[in-house]
Structures are given as structure tokens and as C-alpha cells.
Amino acid sequence: MKLIPIPAFNDNYIWMLHDERRALVVDPGDAQPVLAALARDGLTLESILVTHHHGDHTGGVEVLRQNTGAQVYGPAAERMPEPLQRLGDGDTITPLGLRFEVLLVPGHTAGHIAYWGQIPDADPVLFCGDTLFSAGCGRLFEGTPGQMLASLTRLAALPEATRVCCAHEYTLGSLRFALAVEPDNTDLQAYQAHARTLRQQLLPTLPSSIGLEKAVNPFLRTHLPKVVHAVQQIDPNADDPVAVFAALRTWKDKF
């Protein structure tokens, strides 16, 4: 199985997984880059997985469906281009014969879902949309800090080898903030140098991994005393886990 990030818009990635014959794509905000990739590699699009309702994740769904007849999957509780198979927490699907578990991860939007898939002879993959970014997380447009903290905690519990397929190339910006929170984190320093090299070569920084994110992502590290201490320098009233997370997210919003 080949895993490919297809660039779209300014900083989106439409993830494609294929076996050199059949393909699935995740969050196709724009149909044209997907159609070009299918034609270039001689692939048949069988499935479209959608994580949430924002237009930069759904805008290409209808054109792709009309051109390929692909089956569309998406969250049960959000506005979606019909028809589709709606999915809730704990559901499983088998596109391309692969098993994906559906995880409800509200916070960025109220009904956001993620897909965790087991890939034969390879590390698992997580298509997490805008919930988890490398060294960051999504803005809270519809959910609460408590919901997002619970969602990220759930993703952090996945196997550390899981490949994290975020929907945006936000890594360098997220790392600048992460280093403001933990300036002495040597894992962060090394990752920033690596990510800069990749971007200078016009290469994606993704996928990341759950293990790496646990070492560098401040939003997965809000339980650690040094992160709590950094947050409390900004907001002394952040005195419980949800308040610490909320203050950290507000700090990032203003960074």
C-alpha cells in the first residue's frame, strides 16, 4: 500500500492510499489534484473518507463521486454532501479490504471523526483531519476545550508507530509555538531542524507518528509539570487539566 499526500490549496493535504490499482482518498477539498493523480498512476478511486464538514475537506467530493462512482464515508452528525455512509464512534469500514476504526474526536467541529487503519506489513495509519497537527492541534470552532483534550488524549493512546496523516502542512508554525512552550526540549529542537530541511526541499513534513507527537506536541503534553508551569506563566488561573489545555490553546491562538 502506498501512502501519498496530494497538495491542495495553500497548505492542505488530500491523503491517498492505493495498491497500484485501487485507491481511497481522505478529505478531498479539491477534485482536480485527485483526478490528476488517478490518471497519472492509472488508479481507480473506490472510496472517499471525510473527517468533518469544512469546505476545504469536502469541496471535491461531488465531482469525484460523479467521475468515479466512489463510495463516500463521513461523520454521522455533520452536514455532508449526500449520498454517503454516515459513521459514528466505534464503527468499522473496510475500504480496499483494509480495516478502519472510526473515532469520534470532537473539538475542531462538533462531529469530527478520525479513521485509524491497520495496514498489512506496514505501520497503522491515522487520518485525523484537523484534530491533530504535527506539534499542534486544530482551533476550537465548535467544540469545547474539554472535548478537544479528551479527543487528543484518545489519539495519543494509539500505538506509537501509527503514522499521523494530518490535513494541513502547519508543522513549522506549530513548532515555533511548541518551542515557546518548551524551549529546552531537545526532541523539539531536532524535529524543527529536520522539518526545515524537508520544507527547504519542498517535501512534506508528514506523516508524523504518535510516538513523535507525544515527544514534541505541547497539546499532548499538558499533563507534564514543565508544560503546566509554562502555561501558568501566561494564565495563573489554569489550575486543572482542562483549564491548562484551554489556556494553551488560547496562547496559541494569539501567538
Return the active site residues: 52, 54, 56-57, 108, 130, 168
Maximal CA-CA distance, the chain = 57
Pairing state of beta strands 99-104 and 92-93? Answer: antiparallel
Three-state SS at 236: coil
**Residue 191 corresponds to which cell in the numbers above?**
524535529
Q: Which are the contacts of 119, defined by CB distance < 8 A and separation ≥ 6?
A: 1, 17, 98, 125
Burial 147-169 (b: 16+ CB within 10 A, else e): bbbbbbeebbebeeebbbbbbbb
Using alpha carbons, list the distances in angstroms from residue 10 to 55, 102, 148, 157, 168. Answer: 14, 28, 25, 31, 9
Residue 175 phi/psi, 5-degree rounding, is -70, -35
Which amino acid is present at 152?
L
Task: Return d(Cα 187, Cα 196) in angstroms, integer.
Answer: 14
